[in-house]
Amino acid sequence: MESINGRLKGLVLLRPRVFSDPRGWFMEAYNQIDLARIGVDVPFVQDNVSLSAKGIVRGIHLQRAPHAQGKLVRCLRGAIFDVAVDLRSGSPTFGEWESFELSESNHCALYIPPGFGHAFQALEEATTLYYKCTRGYSKECEDGIRFDDAELGIAWPHPPQGISDKDAALAPFENFHPLGPEDCA
């Protein structure tokens, strides 16, 4: 597995070795020991799968303490424009975002630590996303920012569509209370 640090500290793109032959291909999708060697030494306690049509945007989502989540995100089918937003109070890159394309053809995964908001846009029909979380979901701890916030200025590759009522009701970035150290652990 090759690991590539993102521009925003803490983001890690993981490119697995893929072994192909006439029968198909094989890859190791998750190895706790290898992740620990590159500094991602965290327990994953919940796995989630989502299916989205082309153009759908989900996010920007996060959870606050005591259920702040790190995520290991992989696209199993189709492709996504994956976005992580630095929301850590005091971070030199607070309010900045970085994007990655994750797809069934590049097999890459992205580790997003606690302290970041997460959003994605499906780039193909029937895009299937699989992600591991370091803490379970808690409705009381969920938070987020509008996907189309002008101050953040996320450059979605396609006109966003299919926004849930919940995501459409999220507050703008200017009203967001930065994440403290307890929300980033």
| 28 close to 1: Cβ distance less than 8 angstroms | yes
Long-range contacts (CB closer than 8 Å, 24 or more residues apart) made by 14-18: 14/72, 14/108, 14/109, 14/110, 14/111, 15/106, 15/107, 15/108, 16/107, 16/108, 16/109, 18/107
Judge whether 61 counts as a catalytic residue. Answer: yes
Q: Which of 61, 67, 107, 118 is catalytic?
A: 61
CA 85/CA 117 separation, integer angstroms? 5
CA 132/CA 135 separation, integer angstroms? 9
Q: Which of 118, 131, 137, 158 is catalytic?
A: 131
Judge whether 131 counts as a catalytic residue. Answer: yes
CB-based contacts of 156, cutoff 8 Å, min separation 6: 57, 81, 121, 147
Annotated active-site positions, please?
A: 61, 131
